[in-house]
């Protein structure tokens, strides 16, 4: 249960090696935190030592975002072992290359399965657990790429557009249960996932995304743009005529 300062005791990070997810955890952790679960497909790449502090138990759990049939059992198992889940961060995903997707449609399908279907089943499993608890907060990592499809990354963008719409609806559905959902929409983030890629305007870092995400969560925001200026940028870009939009230097 979170205390009066909205400090969670039990945090679950689905995508336990995600740089943005870990940055969000950094901001969430306080002396009130007792349990942190880093759930990831490659458990050997997790860094539990990063979060080491007195009184905090850090557990690394095997979790496969693509194995959607296992998600409900996995979440129920976490609750049985660790108790109520106060905050869960859905931060796994595949960026991929549009050129690779164009050449291999099955690779595109696999990426969409993880980014959208996997995130949906994991979020629904978390929602079910938090309904049973009567409290909880789910943070879903979306992207501004889902705001309007671009030639450079339309497969990835479409998966995030679907996830964003799902998470917005989930947030409304969970209000009666006392469970919160926050959708986090970062722009270009300098991270391992984007290393070697051309940067985009208003690029940021995982640390900044983490800070703004948790600030927004604690303020009760349904959607957090990181950086905040992107909210206004995309309110304009949504309405730019398509012949003009496709010529913009957006990467």
At 145, the pLDDT band (50, 70, 90 cuts) reads: confident
Structure-token match 């955890």, residue found: 25
Q: What are phi and psi of 133, to 5 degrees?
A: -70, -35
- More confident call, 3 vs 106: 106
pLDDT at position 251 over 60: no
Cα Rg of the chain, angstroms: 18
- More confident call, 159 vs 5: 159
pLDDT tens digits along 198-229:
766 677 899 999 999 999 999 999 999 998 88
Q: Is residue 232 among the annotated active site residues?
A: no
Q: Under DSSP, is residue 81 helix (H, G, I), strand (E, B) or coil? A: helix
At 1, the pLDDT band (50, 70, 90 cuts) reads: low
Closest CA to 62 of 78, 82, 45, 40: 40
Ranking 30-39, 79-88, 223-232, 238-247 by mean pLDDT, the lowest is: 238-247
Average pLDDT of the segment spanning 190-204: 72
pLDDT at position 192 over 80: no
pTM: 0.91
- More confident call, 228 vs 72: 72
pLDDT at position 4 over 60: no
What is the largest distance, in Å, between two alpha-carbon atoms of the chain?
Answer: 57
| Three-state DSSP string of 37-77 | EEEECCHHHCCHHHHCCCCCEEEEEECCCCCHHHHHHHHHH
The full set of domains in the chain, from first to last, is 10-245 (3.40.50.720)
Query: Annotated catalytic residue: which of 116, 154, 156, 232?
Result: 156
pLDDT at position 85 over 90: yes
């Amino acid at each position: 249960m979170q205390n009066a300062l909205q400090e969670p005791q039990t945090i679950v990070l689905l995508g336990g090696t995600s740089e943005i997810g870990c940055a969000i955890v950094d901001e969430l952790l306080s002396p009130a935190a007792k349990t942190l679960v880093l759930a990831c497909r490659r458990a050997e790449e997790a860094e539990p030592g990063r979060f080491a502090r007195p009184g905090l138990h850090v557990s690394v759990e095997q979790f496969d975002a693509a194995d959607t049939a296992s998600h409900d059992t996995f979440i129920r198992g976490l609750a049985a072992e660790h108790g109520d889940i106060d905050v869960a961060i859905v931060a796994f995903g595949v960026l991929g290359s549009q050129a690779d997707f164009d050449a291999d449609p099955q690779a595109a399908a696999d990426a969409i399965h993880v980014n959208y279907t996997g995130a949906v089943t994991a979020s629904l499993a978390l929602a079910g657990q938090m309904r049973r608890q009567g409290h909880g907060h789910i943070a879903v990592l979306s992207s501004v790429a889902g705001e309007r499809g671009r030639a450079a990354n339309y497969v990835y963008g479409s998966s995030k557009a679907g996830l964003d719409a799902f998470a917005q609806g989930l947030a409304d559905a969970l209000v009666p249960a006392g469970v919160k959902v926050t959708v986090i929409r970062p722009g270009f983030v300098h991270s391992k996932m984007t290393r070697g890629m051309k940067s985009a305007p208003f690029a940021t870092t995982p640390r900044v995304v983490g800070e703004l995400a948790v600030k927004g969560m604690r303020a009760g925001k349904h959607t957090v743009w990181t950086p905040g200026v992107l909210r206004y940028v995309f309110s304009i870009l949504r309405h730019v005529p398509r012949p003009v939009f496709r010529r913009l230097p957006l990467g």
